[in-house]
Amino acid sequence: MTERLAGPSMLGMVGDLSGPSLWRCLQPFSALEQRGYPAHWDFKDAPGIGLLAPRYDGIVLSRLAWPPDRRRLAEAWFSMLRRAGKLVVYDCDDDVFTSELSRRSLALGLADGKSYAELEAERLERVWALEQCDGVTVSTRRLATVVRGITDRPVVVVPNAIDLHWFRRVLRGAPRTLPVPTIGWSGGRRPDDDLATVAVAWGRLAARFPDVRFVVGGYLPPVIASHVPAERLVTVPWLPLDRYPAGIRDVDVACCSVADTPFNRSKSAIKAYEAAVAGAAVVATPTVYGGLVQHGVTGLLAETADEWEAALAGLLEHPARRAILARRLLRVVEREHSLEGELWRWPEAWQRIAEARRERRSVVA
């Protein structure tokens, strides 16, 4: 497989140590570098980043943008890269380009005190930054459709892939602490619609199965807290990025649930990948997860509260079936979604974008 790792040398630039940065830049670039491919990542404001960039054929901007008052600086930077002949690729794994995100951030209290107009101004700066690039890599086909409505440059789907070795190494260092059966969910702040039917089902299950505990990692959604007795909830705080897989070590059945909204449709199924590697069976919504979870074969799909309750109760009552579904989903993830097996997609995408740029320039010339 080594011979497939051919393409331009690239420097990935991130603005933070968030989950998207981990999946889309830190882990793939580190894995490529370990394999001997000329790729490296760093922070966009790291000391010496200006001296590092000229060593590479191109730059990957991982969800980066400049605030409106720094547009001139950004224009000068892009102009410098063009004069130097550098390939510039934008990468993202969420719809950060439409007004849906601004509305969502405001509704969820994620705006850091900014007004809707200020959030929209920042969104437009992301759109502008994307338009300056030679191409875009995204995590899903739905997101690719969104981005193709913004740019006429190549948009290449490079799906998220899980670093199995790292994930398992973290799990080995985090032994299980709950001896009772568990149902779990983990994630950040989100609309109640994502979990409304799950919350109702959890409340019913709490009454039916007195020994079961409900594990919530990261953000505790109010809709969950309102349906499940506090003494039955086990909350796992946000963990550092290098340890966050430990947060789902105690989950027997993972709930992967999103509402059928434009923003959610662009997301990927990484929560189900993580659950599978952690050994959990998965119950999920058809939205986002329907392409991964085959109902009754590798997991269960549910939408209504009744469907969630029936699916989860069945897995609690039949541990053997739960184990079978978990193993089957794990095999799919190992075969089709491991970072080691999918690593070639990154340099291939950069190569495609570079070739498209050469063709475009030859036509202009």
Write down the mean pLDDT value for the chain. Answer: 94
How many Å apart are CA 273 and CA 278, to the nearest integer?
9
Residue 230, C-beta contacts closer than 8 angstroms, at least 6 positions apart: none
High-pLDDT (> 70) share of the chain, %: 98
Residues 65 and 156 in one domain: yes
**71 shares its domain with 133:** yes
For residue 62 the two structure tokens come to 């991982």
265-272: long-range contacts, CB 8 A cutoff, minimum separation 24: 265/142, 266/94, 266/95, 266/140, 266/142, 266/143, 266/146, 267/93, 267/94, 267/140, 268/93, 268/139, 268/140, 268/159, 268/160, 269/293, 270/23, 270/160, 270/162, 271/186, 271/187, 272/299, 272/329, 272/333
Residue 224 shares a structural domain with residue 307: yes
Whether residue 178 is found in the same domain as residue 224: yes
Residues 51, 118 within the same domain: yes
Domain region containing 26: 2-161+339-364
CATH number at residue 185: 3.40.50.2000
What are the start-end ranges of the E strands in 99-232?
135-138, 155-157, 182-187, 213-218
128 close to 239: Cβ distance less than 8 angstroms: no
The pLDDT tens digits for 260-302 are 999 999 999 999 999 999 999 999 999 999 999 999 999 999 9
Same-domain pairing of 229 and 330: yes
List, for the chain, all residue ranges whose pLDDT scores fall below the cut of 50: 1-3
| CA–CA separation, 80 and 250 (whole Å) | 50
> b vs e for 281-300, b when ≥16 Cβ sit within 10 Å of the residue's Cβ?
bbbbbebbbeebbeeeebbb
Do residues 176 and 324 share a domain? yes
Q: What span, in angstroms and rounded, lies between the C-alpha atoms of 6 and 347?
A: 6
Considering the entire predicted model, what is its pTM? 0.94
Question: Are residues 56 and 111 located together in one domain of the fold?
Answer: yes
What is the number of structural domains in the chain?
A: 2
Q: CB pairs under 8 A, 24+ apart, for 38-42?
A: 38/9, 38/10, 39/9, 39/10, 39/11, 39/12, 39/346, 39/347, 40/11, 40/12, 41/11, 41/12, 41/13, 41/14, 42/11, 42/12, 42/13, 42/14
- The reported pLDDT for the residue numbered 365 is 58
Determine the Cα–Cα distance for residues 269 and 190; give it in Å rounded to an integer: 16
Q: What is the pLDDT of residue 1?
A: 40
C-beta separation of 362 from 356 below 8 A: no
* The predicted structure's pLDDT at residue 137: 98
**Whole-angstrom distance between the N-terminal and C-terminal Cα of the chain?**
37
Q: Are residues 175 and 91 in the same domain?
A: no
**Could you tell me if 272 and 232 lie in one domain?**
yes
Backbone torsions φ then ψ of 130, nearest 5 degrees = -60, -40
Question: Is 125 in a helix, a strand, or coil?
Answer: helix
The answer on 140 and 226 residing in a single domain is no
Tell me, yes or no, whether 175 and 156 share the same domain: no
CA separation (Å) from 162 to 236, 258, 300, 334, 349?
A: 22, 20, 21, 9, 18
pLDDT one-digit tens code per residue, 108-136: 888 889 999 999 999 999 999 999 999 99
- Tell me the three state secondary structure of residue 197: helix
